[in-house]
Amino acid sequence: MGTKPELSVITVNYNGYGDTVALIDSLRKYLADIPFEAIVVDNASRTDEAEAIRRHFPDEERLVLIRSERNLGFAGGNNLGIGAARGDYLLLLNNDAFVEDGSLRELIAVLENDSRIGCVSPKIRFADSPRDIQFAGYTPLSRITLRNSLIGFGEPDRGQYQAPHVTPYCHGAAMMFRRETVERVGPMPEAYFLYYEELDWCVRIAQAGYLLWYEPKATVFHRESRSAGQNSPLRTYYLTRNRLLFARRNLKGAYRWLSILYQTAVAVPKACLAATLKGDRRNVSAVLRGWRDFWKIL
pLDDT tens for residues 178-189? 999 999 999 999
Say whether both 115 and 241 belong to one domain: no
Provide the domain limits for residue 182: 7-222
Say whether both 107 and 35 belong to one domain: yes
Total count of domains within the chain? 2
Say whether both 278 and 182 belong to one domain: no
Q: What is the pTM of this model?
A: 0.94
**2 found inside a domain:** no
Are the C-beta atoms of residues 160 and 132 closer than 8 Å to each other? no
pLDDT in tens, 120-169: 999 999 999 999 999 999 999 999 999 999 999 999 999 999 999 999 99
Say whether both 209 and 246 belong to one domain: no
* Least confident stretch, 39-48, 220-229, 237-246: 220-229
**Main-chain dihedrals φ then ψ at residue 75, nearest 5 degrees:** -70, -45
Nearest in space to 135 (alpha carbons), one of 120, 146, 145, 147:
120
**113 found inside a domain:** yes
Say whether both 196 and 251 belong to one domain: no
* Least confident stretch, 109-113, 149-153, 293-297: 293-297
Say whether both 284 and 209 belong to one domain: no
**137 found inside a domain:** yes
Say whether both 253 and 146 belong to one domain: no
Computed from CA positions of residues 208, 11, 61, 101, in that sequence, does the dihedral angle turn out positive or negative? negative
Query: pLDDT class for 226, splitting at 50, 70, 90?
Result: low
Among 203, 222, 241, which residue terminates a domain? 222
Residue 108: per-residue pLDDT:
98
Give the three-class secondary structure for 166. strand
List the CATH number of the domain containing 65: 3.90.550.10
